[in-house]
């Protein structure tokens, strides 16, 4: 039996429902949900030496250098104990994320596929503006920047995995339950 961590990346525009769907997958399949954005927000709040740098990137919708994010992800994976695998939400978000992951993690993990949650931009923006979680980047100006970063830097990463036959796309401009029904099939077919 392989000792490699099983990993599913979860990507999609801001507000497409990554966190919402990961919570359901975690509950029903026993994979551990690790949101790169949540880990960075926790690091920022912990008076880390990187706090200011992380806060600036989050406000500007730009991407934190991979050394920081990859270390947070690896530490969280090590701290998780036995589980069915990991849902890595919001990573790899750009070429720097992908390069850093390949360099440090490629030989420790088995990437099963990338779950791509697709959704129209206007629906995503409206969901974020109504989210009411007090996020510093859920405002119109930050959202414009986050969507620009998604279109120019994250979508090319989805295309990279698509060329490898590793993308499973689910449209999320529908009720949460309908979206999850499609996702459940994908995870069952993948043997989870």
Ligand X SMILES: Nc1ncnc2c1ncn2[C@@H]1O[C@H](COP(=O)(O)OP(=O)(O)OP(=O)(O)O)[C@@H](O)[C@H]1O
Ligand Y SMILES: Nc1ccn([C@H]2C[C@H](O)[C@@H](COP(=O)(O)O)O2)c(=O)n1
Chain contacts with ligand Y (rule: CB under 6 A)? 14, 35-37, 40, 57-58, 61, 63-64, 69, 90-91, 93, 97, 137, 146
Q: Residue 85's binding partner, choosing from ligand X, ligand Y, Mg ion, none, with beta-carbon cut-off 5 to 8 A by kind?
A: none
Least distance from C-beta 132 to ligand X, angstroms? Answer: 7
Min dist CB 2 to ligand Y, Å, is 26
Piece of 50-58, 60-68, 159-167, 175-183 that binds ligand X (CB under 6 A): 175-183
Q: Are 35 and 22 in contact (CB under 8 A)?
A: yes
Does residue number 61 form part of the binding site for ligand X (CB under 6 A)?
no
DSSP3 helix / strand / coil % (the chain, rounded to 5): 55, 15, 30
Q: Which does 176 bind (CB under 5 to 8 A by kind): Mg ion, ligand X, ligand Y, none?
A: ligand X
**127 part of the interface to ligand X, by CB under 6 A:** yes
Task: Determine phi and psi for 48, rounding to 5 degrees.
Answer: -65, 155
Length of the chain: 192
Beta carbon of residue 154, minimum distance to ligand Y (angstroms, whole number) = 9
d(CA 40, CA 50): 9
Residue 94 host element (H or E): none
Binding piece for ligand X, criterion CB under 6 A, among 56-64, 102-110, 158-166, 171-179 = 171-179
Q: What is residue 9's three-state secondary structure?
A: strand
Closest to ligand X by CB, 77 vs 170, is: 170
* Per-residue tokens: 64: 């934190």
Question: What distance in Å separates the CA atoms of residue 65 and residue 177, rounded to the nearest whole number?
Answer: 35
Dig out the tokens for 149 from the structure. 């970063």
C-alpha pair distances (Å), 110 with each of 6, 8, 50, 192: 5, 9, 29, 13
Q: Site map for ligand X, 63-102, x if CB under 6 A? A: ---------------------------x------------
Residue 19 touching Mg ion (CB under 5 A): yes
Question: Would the annotation count 92 as a binding residue?
Answer: yes
Cβ within 8 Å of residue 165, ≥6 positions away: none
Q: Which residues are annotated as a binding site for ATP?
A: 15-20, 131, 174
């Amino acid at each position: 039996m392989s000792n490699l961590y099983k990993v599913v990346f979860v990507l999609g525009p801001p507000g497409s429902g990554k966190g919402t769907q990961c919570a359901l997958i975690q509950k029903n399949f026993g994979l551990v949900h690790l949101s790169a954005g949540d880990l960075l927000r926790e690091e920022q709040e912990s008076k880390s030496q990187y706090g200011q740098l992380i806060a600036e990137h989050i406000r500007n919708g730009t991407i934190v250098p991979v050394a920081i994010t990859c270390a947070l992800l690896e530490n969280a994976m090590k701290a998780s104990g036995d589980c069915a695998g990991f849902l890595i939400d919001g990573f790899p978000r750009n070429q720097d994320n992908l390069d850093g992951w390949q360099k440090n993690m490629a030989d420790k993990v088995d990437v099963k596929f990338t779950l791509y949650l697709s959704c129209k931009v206007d629906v995503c923006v409206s969901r974020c503006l109504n989210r009411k979680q007090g996020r510093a980047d859920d405002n119109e100006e930050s959202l414009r920047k986050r969507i620009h970063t998604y279109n120019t830097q994250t979508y090319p990463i989805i295309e990279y995995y698509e060329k490898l036959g590793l993308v499973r796309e689910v449209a999320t401009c529908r009720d949460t339950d309908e979206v999850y029904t499609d996702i459940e099939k994908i995870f069952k077919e993948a043997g989870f």
